Amino acid sequence: MIRVRFLGTAAARPTVGRNVSAIAVQREGESILWDCGEGTQRQIMRFGTGFSFSHIFITHCHADHFLGLPGLLRTMGLQGREERMHIFGPVGTGATLGAAVGLGVERLAFPVHIKSLKPGERVNFDGWAVRAFRTDHGVAALGYALVEDARLGRFDVDAVRRLGIPEGPLYGKLHRGEAIELAGRVILPDDVVGPPRPGRRVVYTGDTRPSGDTSRAAMGADLLIHEATFGTEEGKRARETRHSTAAEAARVAAEAEAKRLVLTHVSARYADAPKVLERQARDIFPASRVAHDGLEIELGYHD
């Protein structure tokens, strides 16, 4: 199961009901954090996601996306953390992230490693990866895609039984792609195993104008998380500030043939009336919704 928990969904500054950007993603016992706006450590406690993640991916160095790092790391230190923390950001942001890490947390008992990523680079985990892609925000900025490895094809038990293969280790060999020999016959994996099945894909844009890079990264995504700072009536301001409207985000989702779209990074002017953005997005891409702090989305395998 992949679980996506929205810890902060506001643009630029907190509101009464929304904190600034942060998203916790959990997959099969591993956790990562996308962005870390101020107050993220409190949101983690409020929504019970835990502090077990060891990788933080910052989309860009505007304050509402990274200034939560000092408080979060300090909290982890006070909890007795010893494991290394890995922090990633776009090329050119290392000094800023390093300064944030050192702000008030000089006595950390665990190491912090900061690394810059270029578009197309990957951070690999067991069976999945986080891949960086280029976004369009007028500063050094990245989006991130959680991409699973392809899964083994579906095992055809009826075909195995028709071939007289006894249950046991031979099943495992065939499913892993190994040929077996039984009673003088060679049985190939293709005889009983279907084609590889694609893994799941979750894409987060950070702050950006609509872009072809995002559409390509989100192609066929199970979930696209796209910023929607403004409504259609503020299209000019969205262009000037290198942000997106809800309708523009919906067009990206439609172009990418994503399965679901969740809008975040909501301007304070819509904080109490997000349905305006939701309606504008659904007119173009019906499987749209606006995130709120604490929203959790679970993604199982679609087949």
Which residues lie closer than 8 Å to 254 by C-beta, 6 or more apart? Answer: 284, 285
Counting every residue written for the chain, the total comes to: 303
Tell me how far apart the alpha carbons of residues 48 and 26 are, in angstroms, rounded to a whole number.
12
Residue 94 gets the label, from left (phi > 0), alpha (psi -120 to 50) or beta, of: alpha
Which of the following is catalytic: 64, 136, 207, 293? 64
Of 68, 55, 37, residue with least CA distance to 117: 55
User: Which two three-digit tokens encode residue 124?
Assistant: 């690999």
Tell me how far apart the alpha carbons of residues 130 and 226 are, in angstroms, rounded to a whole number.
17
| Catalytic site includes residue 190 | no
Classify strands 201-204 and 223-227 as parallel, antiparallel or unpaired: parallel
3-state secondary structure of 82: coil
User: Could you give the residue numbers annotated as active site?
Assistant: 64
